[in-house]
Every structure is written in structure tokens, then in C-alpha cells.
């Protein structure tokens, strides 16, 4: 895709930040199995890996894993968003 300045734009360039919340199938399997997910654990892991592959090239990509419980995961994600947006704002 070409912009008006004739620079090539990648499909995700319009996003200031991409936050990837890792599937519960990766590290929180009990929560995944208890959910109403339409895919199997294996399918969820494959889809999650594809999302990571596509999105990780973005300069402001952040991945939030399942190393903590869900509430803490959400807190970490929110803190990450605030910190990254503050960094972007400071750059102007």
C-alpha cells in the first residue's frame, strides 16, 4: 500500500500499539478447557502462533503471557498500554 508520501505502508502501520493477549491454551489450559472456545487447545495454539508471527514485526508489539492469573494479566496489559502510550507521546 502506498501512502501520499509514496512510502510503502505495511497493513498494521495504522496501529500505534499492538497488544497480544496470549491464548489461555498456552499456560492456562484449565481456563481454556472450561471456556466456550470453538477450537481445540492445539488449534488455539496454532492460531496464537500465527497471530504472533504476523503482529510481532510491528515496532510497538507487546505480548502478554499467562504467567499470572487472569486479573493480573489484565493489570499487566493495562500498565503496558499506559507505559507504551506515554513513550509514544514523549516522542511527539
Give the total residue count for the chain. 92
Evaluate if residue 2 carries a pLDDT over 60. Answer: no
> What totals of helices (H) and strands (E) does the chain contain, helices first?
3, 2
Sign of CA dihedral 55, 33, 26, 39: negative
Average pLDDT over residues 9-30: 89
What is the predicted pLDDT for the residue at 48?
A: 97
- Of the candidates 56, 58, 77, the one whose C-alpha atom is nearest the C-alpha of residue 66 is 77
pLDDT digits 0-9 by tens, 34-88: 788 789 999 999 999 999 999 999 989 999 999 999 999 999 999 999 999 899 8
Rounded Cα distance, 48 and 64, in Å: 12
Amino acid at each position: 500500500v502506498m501512502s501520499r508520501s509514496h512510502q510503502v505502508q505495511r497493513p498494521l502501520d495504522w496501529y500505534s500499539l499492538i497488544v497480544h493477549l496470549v491464548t489461555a491454551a498456552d499456560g492456562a489450559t484449565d481456563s481454556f478447557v472450561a471456556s466456550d472456545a470453538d477450537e481445540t487447545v492445539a488449534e488455539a495454539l496454532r492460531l496464537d502462533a500465527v497471530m504472533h508471527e504476523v503482529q510481532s514485526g510491528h515496532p510497538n508489539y507487546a505480548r502478554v503471557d499467562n504467567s499470572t492469573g487472569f486479573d493480573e494479566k489484565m493489570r499487566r496489559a493495562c500498565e503496558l498500554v499506559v507505559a507504551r502510550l506515554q513513550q509514544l507521546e514523549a516522542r511527539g
